């Protein structure tokens, strides 16, 4: 008994806050042994298959493990006068005045691979542009980023697979580190925020380039834009590296046009049509605007990374060429300052007493502690100057 020819049918899968993506599936007649009358068997089309996410959860585990290792290297009981959650022993946190995020000292994260522009330029440690995205400044920093990564990343990996989303995440993180290094050169930087914003940028460009296969597309676009604007607005607060956010977002936005492009349904229908089925006209796999966006995005991305790396390795500070750009990362108000000068102190020892004077604010304090180590003095200096 011959089966009926295959057809391509459209089904709608709910996705991303009211924006429904339309997925084509192949419809087949049931096999002769199927006892159900009028049963329909659906076969998922290769180009729109659902993936089982594993890479994004792996990234979450990797970031968590790196934080635990950083806390072990930090060794607060040995290198600080006081610690938070001392019952954790070597994994206890620096004092709140030094690190309000419940985390390690700046010395520890720098040793683990934080982004330090001076070391990238003068000591040829370019690997810091990558390693910094796997480090976090504290428990609160880690939780915020990893929860966001799970919410955003798992959905994307289900739709596009681990290869494309993994590349989007890593390259966007690199782009965020690169822009941060070109503008913020007096402090170290850590965090996966640049890579996270790359995923948001990729979601936006994916919606644009695959515009014709979305239902409720305007609602999906407005929702996504509002989320992006709110997250970028948070970056104008002090001690938040908004240049990493912007660099990651722009990189992810361009990469989305390259990695997340979908074929048109007309081409899919022809691709999965049964043998002998004739079509009135051949449909292209991609629309012209998709190909144009793909090519332009790839060119801009290559130029941006090339020029950015050249400027960084030459030691350029883009603040010298843009007098207002620093407002993109921090806007000073009556409630906070945007001073990003590195913290330093002058230390004087008189017998068993140490007097520290903060070079930034002029505040001073005397400590009656014997045999202070350099790292302990640095920790006390950080608490005094904040």
Q: In whole angstroms, give the CA distance from residue 151 to residue 158.
A: 12
Q: Give the active site residue among 92, 105, 193, 297.
A: 193
Conformational region of residue 113, where left means phi above 0, alpha means psi within -120 to 50, and beta covers everything else: left
Catalytic residue flag (residue 193): yes
Q: Which residue has the tokens 């070597």?
A: 90
Long-range contacts of 47-52, Cβ-Cβ distance < 8 Å, separation of 24 or more = 47/262, 47/263, 47/268, 47/271, 48/23, 48/24, 48/262, 48/268, 50/158, 50/159, 51/157, 51/158, 51/159, 51/160, 51/161, 51/162, 52/158
Query: Rounded to 5 degrees, what are φ and ψ at 357?
Result: -125, 120
- 364 bridge partner residues: 357
Catalytic residue flag (residue 245): yes
Q: In whole angstroms, give the CA distance from residue 364 to residue 376.
A: 16
Please say whether the beta carbons of 59 and 50 come within 8 A.
no
Q: Give the active site residue among 245, 269, 297, 326.
A: 245
In the chain, alpha helices (H): 55-74, 76-79, 106-112, 117-122, 128-131, 139-160, 162-183, 193-209, 217-234, 242-259, 265-271, 288-313, 374-385
Q: Which residues are catalytic?
A: 193, 245
């Amino acid at each position: 008994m011959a089966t009926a020819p295959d057809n391509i049918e459209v089904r709608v899968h709910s996705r991303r806050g009211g924006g429904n993506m339309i997925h084509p599936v192949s419809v087949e007649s049931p096999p002769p042994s199927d006892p159900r009358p009028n049963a329909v068997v659906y076969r998922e089309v290769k180009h729109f298959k659902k993936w089982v996410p594993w890479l994004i959860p792996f990234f979450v585990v990797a970031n968590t493990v790196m934080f635990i290792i950083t806390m072990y290297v930090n060794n607060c009981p040995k290198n600080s006068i006081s610690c938070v959650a001392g019952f954790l022993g070597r994994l206890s946190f620096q004092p709140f005045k030094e690190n309000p995020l419940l985390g390690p000292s700046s010395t520890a994260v720098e040793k683990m691979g934080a982004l330090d522009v001076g070391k990238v330029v003068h000591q040829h440690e370019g690997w810091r542009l990558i390693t910094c995205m796997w480090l976090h400044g504290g428990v609160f920093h880690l939780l915020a980023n990893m929860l966001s990564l799970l919410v955003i990343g798992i959905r994307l990996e289900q739709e596009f697979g681990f290869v494309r989303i993994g590349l989007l995440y890593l390259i966007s993180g690199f782009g965020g580190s690169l822009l941060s290094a070109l503008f913020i050169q007096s402090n170290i930087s850590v965090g996966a925020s640049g890579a996270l914003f790359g995923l948001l940028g990729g979601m936006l460009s994916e919606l644009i380039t695959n515009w014709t296969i979305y239902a409720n597309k305007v609602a999906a676009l407005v929702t996504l834009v509002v989320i992006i604007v709110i997250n970028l607005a948070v970056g104008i607060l002090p001690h938040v590296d908004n240049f990493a956010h912007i660099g990651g977002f722009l990189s992810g936005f361009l990469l989305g046009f390259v990695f997340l492009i979908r074929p048109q349904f007309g081409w899919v229908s022809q691709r999965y049509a049964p043998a002998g089925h004739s079509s009135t006209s051949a449909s292209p796999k991609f629309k012209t605007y998709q190909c144009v966006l793909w090519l332009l995005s790839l060119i801009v991305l290559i130029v941006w990374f090339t020029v950015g790396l050249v400027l960084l390795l030459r030691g350029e500070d883009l603040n010298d060429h843009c007098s207002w750009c620093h407002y993109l990362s921090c806007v000073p108000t009556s409630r906070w300052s945007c001073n990003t000068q590195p913290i330093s102190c002058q230390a004087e020892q008189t017998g068993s007493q140490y007097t520290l004077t903060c070079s930034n604010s002029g505040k001073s304090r005397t400590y009656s502690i014997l045999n202070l180590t350099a790292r302990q003095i640095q920790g006390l200096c950080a608490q005094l100057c904040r």
